[in-house]
Amino acid sequence: MPHFTTTDGTELYYTDQGEGQPVLLSHGWPLSSDAWQVEVKLLADNGYRAIAHDRRGHGRSAKTYTGNDMDTYAKDLAELVKHLDLTNLVVIGHSTGGGEVVRYAAQHGVGRVAKVITVGAVPPQMVKTDSNPDGLPIEVFDGIRAGVLKDASQFYRDLTEAFFGANRDGSNVSQGAKDDFWRQGMLVNLAAAYDCIKAFSETDFTEDLKSLDVPIFLAHGDDDQIVPIGAAAIRSAELVKDGTLKVYPGAPHGIHGDYQSELGKDILAFISK
């Protein structure tokens, strides 16, 4: 299994499959690169080099106590990209990973990043503030922190209901998909999981979005119960210079089923433009 060590000594796991234009995928919280297995194969099968890493503290990467913040996540990504010498790069991020790739592309990726894709992503900012009145109250994220500290295993099981929209009539998400979410979540270091909640909820990506000068595809389900679309992709689309917003009717936060199939086709189409 390939690993890369950052300048602060943190060992990061990544998978690297296929050949062609590089596409780098960043996962959501509290998951790992395994969340992208279907898309990695899809990209490799269609002539792309697909690379997906486990964020520090997550998956098979080092179980970090420090550096669990968005600036460090983006810096880690920049060091991995430099290590692999990737150019003409497409970056894709889901949820927290969407914030990670936006910050990376804006602050580190000039000259390397060709396109950005976000899916159910946290930008511009999740938490409600005076300047972000449509965000979620801080109490929502305090509740997530409390749940993780009290019983992370049960919290991750419970979270799958809203994550995949399993609490909606007509949901067809499998028990296996929910179990795999739990499996990935149980690999994250508790300190990293706890600190990442602040990173994904309180980081303000407004200036990052404004500074992006490459095309960005903003995908979001309109029944996303984790990152509500109104304060996320819809606002992000208003901030970027060259954005394409696609709303997936009835789609939840988690990527699965028909939503996953349609998104895969849209990713390939956007990259090939």
Q: What is the amino acid identity at position 128? A: K
What gap in Å lies between CA 110 and CA 87, rounded to an integer? 10
The first and second tokens of residue 131, run together, are 């300047």
Catalytic residue among 54, 76, 195, 224: 224
Answer yes or no: 253 catalytic.
Answer: yes
The first and second tokens of residue 205, run together, are 């990506």
Give Rg (Cα) of the chain.
17
Catalytic residue among 53, 220, 253, 256: 253
What gap in Å lies between CA 143 and CA 207, rounded to an integer? 28
What angle in degrees, to the nearest 10, is found between the helix axes of 96-107 and 70-84? Answer: 60
Catalytic residue among 26, 95, 201, 236: 95
| Spatial contact of 160 and 167, defined as CB atoms under 8 Å apart | no
CB-based contacts of 19: which residues, under 8 Å, 6+ apart? 47, 49
DSSP state of 79: H
What angle in degrees, to the nearest 10, is found between the helix axes of 96-107 and 190-202? Answer: 70
Supply φ then ψ for residue 49, to 5 degrees.
-95, 110
Answer yes or no: 236 catalytic.
Answer: no
Answer yes or no: 153 catalytic.
Answer: no
Which residues are tagged catalytic?
Answer: 95, 224, 253
